[in-house]
Structure 1
Amino acid sequence: MMIKDTITLLMRKFFKKQVSIAVLSVKWLDLKRCEGKVKAVTLQNYNRQINLHINPILGFYDVSSVSEEVIQMFIEILMKDKGLNPTTVRNIVGRLSEIMNFAVKEGLIYNNPCTLVLLPKGKNKKGKALTLEEKISLEKVLSTQKIPQNIAIQLALYAGLRISEITALRWKDIDFKQGFIHVQHSFKRIQTNNKEQKTILHLGTPKSQNSVRAVPMNRQIKACLEDYYKVLNDIQAQDESFVVGKKNGSFYDVRAIQRHFVKLCKIAGIEHCHFHDLRHTFATNAKESGIDIQLISEILGHAHTATTMNIYLHPSDTYKKEEIKKMDQIPENEYLKVKSIIEKICSEAV
């Protein structure tokens, strides 16, 4: 068996196929399409990255001639000449790496050169949670009108839903009797080849498997939805109509909701706030209410609790003060007991 492997390696070395990155990327995309594991909109995004960024620079390169140095040069061009941000560059190089892994499997190269390059460090976009004062101010503004755009904001604030999930909700997804919101769809903006309309909204499944979930309704969001449902017309109230819908039952564009939110923030006197910060606010409020972190993570549709803890929780100063007071509640005899145990452990360690 070893002799056969050696012969195979020698044959590959001296009789390599001359395949360009452009040709290989088409084969790789076809393979992904045939596997059926990747969503159509994701495949479209892959195709866009390849045609817009990878092939114009590396397309004519033979796969075997793409070295670590070539890819490092590619990264420099994306950063300096094209002015792309670090996160976008990392995504593009990630796509190139998948193509190069495919080349390894096809026997065109021995190792993936992408594994050795230095990638630009992406800046984490830190969200924030509204302060109690900001939350109260926003709630006052929201209470003045029972309109679809306001319901969208309340669904994020009181249920922690993503804006793409909120705009895709239909009334059949709201179970008032059992008290659950069933998240089963989301909107995603995709590129088109139409010069007049460069992007369109695609209704598909949510971000990941964990995003398909049943979100329990608290008293606030249930009351908001029930009151809003009462003022809808016959078309808007149909099961198939969108919750955040127009008078004809159709959906609102995500951008329209975001613009409305910015407008309300100005009225409420809230600065530097994004719609997604409402999701952060929900997570923080849930944690400060004593809800288990695992449950919060599941409600938000996260695959890992670390994502919830490290990105979405922003303890308020008030909560910090209240929590630290718990240390004052430890009886002196318990404190001395714990102190003795700690000292004993430390002495044994030495």
Structure 2
Amino acid sequence: MAQFEKRGDKWRFRITYKDDQGKRRIYSKSGFRTKPEASAAAKKAEADIKQTVKRDNNILFMAYIDQYIEIYRKGKVASNTLDADMYAKSHLDKFYTDKFLKDVTPTLHQEMINDLITNEFSLSTIKKVNGLVHRACEKARRDGLIIFNPAEFIEYDIRKIKKKEKLQYMPTDKIKPFLDLVRKRDVMQYFLLKLILETGMRIGEACALTFEDIDRANQLIHVTKSYDQKKDELGPTKTGNERSIYITKNQSNELFKLLQIHNANKIVNADVYHNKYKFIFVNEFGTPIPRSTIYNTMMHCSEKVLGKGNRLSAHKLRHTHATIMHESGVSMRDIQERLGHKDEATTRNIYTHFTDKTKREAFDKLEEYLKNIY
């Protein structure tokens, strides 16, 4: 028998029942405008509880998450969307390793969310985790494995959630010291990261470059593809659009130096050298530079230059390039085309920040103008 309670100006129903193991369970739902509306929903819920047949009482929660990803996500969503699911799943693994699907209650799942909040994960990450659970459990509910979705009424205490950090970039006076450190660590990574700084290319686009993409006569790089190292596959750019980027004469000469290094490595390591895709950025044996190696280099060198706790990813070098362009007076439209965004609005939404330098310059212009008025 359902019980009803008015909370503020909304109604809630509460149903107490025993599951197939004889354990006492409670199912409640709130947000109804009137008691008759809550009563109608309660009757339907009671009917669902009575009619539900659990076909597998012992399926592990994480096994069902894996099954959901395999059936409904792999091959049906974009690779970056699937990566987001796998990232979310990694957080669930730590909490639900030995839990059965039938035992994951709204309260238990709220505890899991609270744990993420306590550990200062961003709201975006927490919502990705809950989103995966909600989608998977909705399938489980329709399959008759569970009665209600534990992720449906999750509460986020925004006062405790880590706020999203402001867009980060490498200050211009730190760029040379940073690159000098990278060069001492690995010369090939130096050329790669310097290129990203000077062009704003995505890491996957830069790693997919071949010497055929370089037009030295016109000082252009043709960006036509991206490399997915996890799958060892070449694919289109993130937006699917190809573009050409102007480069400095100095950058053109440095890329030519790389060609000489490649030729030397082919001779020295002739028996073992194999550059499958003819990439520019490979090690002495022709193997693409591992993303993990690039990540470690970025973490180490950026912290050395910026100070303890200040680390930048390779993608932040793309942000640095955009910031330099903005500070040098390049239009938003030209920044958009160089970075390969779909439209100018995307660029504006991502780069809403202004550096202290441009803020000061904008105010100085206003101050000068106001002098002519007053």
| TM-score interval (norm. to shorter) | 0.5 to 0.7
Matched, 1:171 2:211: yes
Counterpart for residue 93 of structure 2: 52
Residue 278 of structure 1 aligns with an amino acid whose one-letter code is: L
2:208·2:234 contact (CA, 8 Å) conserved in 1? no
- Residue 296 of structure 1 is matched in structure 2 by 335
Instruction: Give the superposition deviation at 1:150.
Output: 1.4
Asked if the contact 2:224/2:237 (under 8 Å) is kept, the reply is no
Matched, 1:152 2:192: yes
Matched, 1:69 2:107: yes
Greater strand percent: which structure? 2
| 1:75 counterpart letter in structure 2 | I
Note if 1:102 corresponds to 2:102.
no
Q: How many angstroms does 1:245 deviate by? A: 1.6
Shift of 1:215: 5.1
Asked whether the equivalents of residues 187 and 203 of structure 1 are also in contact (C-alpha less than 8 Å), the reply is yes
Q: Secondary structure at the match of 1:115?
A: coil
Which residue of structure 2 lines up, in the alignment, with residue 129 of structure 1? 169
1:281 aligned residue (298, 320, 330): 320
Name the structure with the higher helix share.
Answer: 1
Contact 2:262-2:284 at 8 Å conserved across structures: yes
Cα deviations across residues 215-273 of structure 1 (Å, max 9, x unaligned)? Answer: 51332674254443452333769893222222332222234334545676688x55445
1:185 corresponds to 2:222: no
1:118 aligns with 2:138: no
d(CA) in 1 for partners of 2:50, 2:183: 75
Structure 1 unmatched ranges of 5 or more: 1-7, 189-200, 337-350
Show the counterpart of 1:234. 263
> How far is 1:72 from its partner?
0.8
The one-letter amino acid paired with 1:157 is L
RMSD: 4.7
Shift in Å, 1:114: 1.7
Counterpart of 1:94, as a letter, is G
1:109–1:300: structure 2 CA closer, same or farther, 3 Å change rule?
farther
CA distance in 2, matches of 1:278, 1:212: 21
State the identity as a percent.
19
Task: Give 1:252's aligned residue.
Answer: 289
Corresponding residue for 2:68? 28
Residue identity matched to 2:232: L
Amino acid at match of 1:245: V
1:311 offset after TM fit, Å? 5.5
Distance across 1 between alignment mates of 2:88 and 2:183? 45
Of the two structures, which has the highest relative contact order with CA contacts closer than 8 Å and spacing of 6 or more? 1
Residue 26 of structure 1: how far off its partner (Å): 4.9
Q: Which residue of 2 aligns with 1:42?
A: 83
- Asked whether the 8 Å contact 1:104–1:112 carries over to 2, the reply is yes
TM-score normalised per structure 1: 0.65
- The structure 2 residue matched to 1:17, chosen from 44, 53, 56, is 53
Structure 1 residues 97 and 208, CA gap change in structure 2 (3 angstroms): farther
Count of equivalent residues: 311
**Aligned-pair distance for 1:32?**
2.0
Between the aligned partners of 1:309 and 1:72, the Cα distance in structure 2 is 36
In the alignment, the residues of structure 1 paired with residue 299 and residue 115 of structure 2 have an alpha-carbon distance, to the nearest angstrom, of 35
* Counterpart amino acid of residue 158 in structure 1: E
1:222, 1:150 → 2: CA distance?
Answer: 12
Question: 1:218 pairs with 207, 223, 247, which one?
Answer: 247
Tell me if the contact between 1:161 and 1:279 (Cα under 8 Å) persists in the aligned partners: yes
Contact 1:159 1:215 in 2 (8 A): no
1:323 equivalent among 326, 344, 362: 362
- TM norm structure 2: 0.62
> 1:174, 1:180 within 8 Å by CA — same for their partners in 2?
yes
Letter of the aligned partner of 1:219 in structure 2?
A: T
Distance 1:46 1:146 in 2: 29
CA displacement, residues 45-64 of structure 1 (integer Å, 9 cap, x when unaligned): 37964982465254x132xx
CA distance in 2, matches of 1:293, 1:165: 21
Distance 1:156 1:147 in 2: 15
